[in-house]
Amino acid sequence: MPTATNLVMALTGLFFIATHQLWIARICRKMEKRKYEQLEGFRTSR
């Protein structure tokens, strides 16, 4: 059944390639929201 496995992997990869801009934008928005919390945590850890 290697062809079924290859098909599943190919479809999964195509899905992530097709939607990469959406999830990268979402990650960036979350990081931007928490920017000051992350900076504060970095300062207190040093």
Cα–Cα distance, 4 to 6 (Å, whole number)? 5
Tokens 């960036």 belong to 28
Residue carrying the six token digits 């207190």: 44
Indicate the pLDDT class of residue 3, thresholds 50, 70 and 90.
very high
Q: How far apart are CA 37 and CA 12, in angstroms?
A: 34
Residue 32 lies in a domain: yes
- What is the model's pLDDT at position 34? 86
Residue 39 located in a structural domain: yes
pTM of this prediction?
0.56
The domain in which residue 27 lies consists of 19-46
pLDDT of residue 41: 80
Question: For the segment 7-42, what is each residue's pLDDT rounded down to a tens digit?
Answer: 999 999 999 999 999 999 999 999 898 888 877 887
Which has the higher per-residue pLDDT, 46 or 38? 38
- In-domain check, residue 38: yes
Number of domains in the chain: 1
Does 26 reside within a domain? Answer: yes
Q: Is residue 3 part of a domain?
A: no
Three-state DSSP class for 1? coil
Is residue 45 included in any domain, yes or no? yes
Q: Is residue 30 part of a domain?
A: yes
